[in-house]
């Protein structure tokens, strides 16, 4: 994998990735001339026992623009820059201009009713392709494998920040789930704590590992493979299935069959198999109805605390 790091005029970082060398001379554009001024904060929810993010400045973010004003398209007119430069690269990652979490957050408001804290995390946009009319399902397996490497690189880099505890890559597709930009892209949220949902899953995985000495999710996948009725894809290294405990219609889990705690731990055998499993699921979704299938895809992995986490299994939930 090749990468090139650039700085936008407003100070945000842009990293380009490709399976081939990226040419020199690319200049990072930005549709925003002024420096970013994001200062989100957290408020503690005493009944749910979790932090809630407040970021009022996100009200000004781009919302379903017409195709000619697509901020994720490559810049064709320097007088009207977008977020991406023209050039030979495959995937682009840049700092979200309207983040829910920001490393420089400071001075949260003092409230008499609940504790507050700076939302010292990080939010990135991951653009899967320069083609605004494509979708993740349309991309070749080589691009999906590259995307796994990109997520691994971002997890390692962001997770190396001392106060980041959890890195969550995800994709929302379709206006039905709140998408505001239809150019194929995902996001990465890096939290200063482990969010409640993965925290609960990690606790269950940890308890199971202490009792059985094996991975809860790997054992679940093995049993689903033996049953076979809900399996959508299976090979030696990856599996996709509808879990017997599914909470939603069309819920699917995708994962390696052998223990793997995060994207950086994927082996050279697991990565292409996982790409085939993911693409198979996306193709099945796409052919289900006579229209693009909306979904939310979240990838859960180990916390970035430096521990081994043998109990944790990298997996996607749709």
Instruction: Report domain extents, the chain.
Output: 2-193, 198-317
C-alpha 24 chain-centroid distance: 28
pLDDT digits (tens, 9 = 90+) for 305-316: 999 999 999 999
pLDDT number for residue 206: 98
- Gap between the Cα atoms of 253 and 245, Å rounded: 11
Q: Which CATH superfamily is domain 198-317 in?
A: HIT-like (3.30.428.10)
**pLDDT at site 33:** 84
Q: In sequence order, what DSSP letters do the residues of 61-127 get, joined into one string?
A: S--S--GGG-TTSBPS-TTS--SB--SS-SEEEEE-SS-SS-TT---PPP-SSS-EEE---EEEEEE
Question: Do the two domains 2-193 and 198-317 of this chain adopt the same fold?
Answer: yes
Which ranges of the chain have pLDDT less than 50? none
Say how far apart CA 108 and CA 41 lie, in whole Å.
Answer: 6
Q: Would you name the residues annotated as active-site residues?
A: 185
Cα gap 156→167, rounded to integer Å: 9
Q: How many CB atoms lie within 10 A of CB 57?
A: 14
Per-residue model confidence (pLDDT) at position 36: 84
Fold exhibited by the domain 2-193: HIT family, subunit A (3.30.428)
The model's pTM is: 0.94
| Adjacent-strand bridge partners of 60 | none
pLDDT of residue 59: 58
- Give pLDDT, residue 161: 82
Check residue 64 and give its pLDDT. 58
């Amino acid at each position: 994998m090749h990468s090139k790091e650039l700085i936008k005029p407003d100070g945000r970082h842009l990293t380009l990735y490709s399976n081939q060398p990226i040419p020199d001379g690319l200049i990072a554009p930005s549709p925003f001339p002024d420096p970013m001024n994001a200062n989100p904060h957290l408020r503690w929810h005493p009944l749910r026992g979790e932090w809630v993010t407040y970021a009022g400045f996100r009200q000004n973010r781009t919302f379903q623009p017409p195709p000619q004003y697509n901020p994720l398209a490559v810049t064709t007119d320097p007088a009207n820059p977008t977020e991406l430069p023209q050039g030979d690269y495959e995937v682009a990652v840049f700092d979200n201009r309207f983040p829910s979490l920001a490393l420089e957050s400071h001075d949260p408001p003092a409230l008499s009713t609940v504790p507050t804290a700076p939302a010292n995390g990080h939010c990135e946009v991951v653009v899967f392709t320069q083609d605004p009319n494509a979708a993740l399902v349309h991309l070749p397996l080589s691009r999906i494998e590259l995307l796994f490497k990109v997520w691994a690189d971002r997890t390692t880099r962001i997770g190396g920040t001392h106060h980041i505890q959890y890195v969550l890559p995800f994709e929302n597709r379709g206006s039905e789930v709140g998408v505001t930009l239809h150019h194929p892209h995902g996001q990465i949220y890096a939290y200063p704590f482990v969010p409640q949902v993965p925290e609960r899953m990690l606790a269950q995985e940890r308890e199971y590992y202490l009792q059985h000495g094996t991975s809860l999710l790997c054992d679940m996948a093995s049993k689903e493979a033996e049953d076979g009725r809900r399996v959508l894809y299976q090979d030696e290294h990856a599996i996709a299935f509808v879990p017997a405990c599914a909470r939603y219609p069309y819920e699917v889990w995708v994962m390696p069959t052998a223990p793997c705690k995060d994207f950086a731990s994927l082996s050279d055998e697991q990565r292409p198999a996982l790409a085939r499993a993911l693409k198979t699921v996306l193709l099945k979704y796409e052919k289900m109805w006579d229209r693009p299938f909306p979904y939310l895809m979240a990838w859960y992995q180990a916390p970035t605390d430096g521990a081994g986490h043998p109990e944790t299994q990298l997996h996607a939930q749709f």
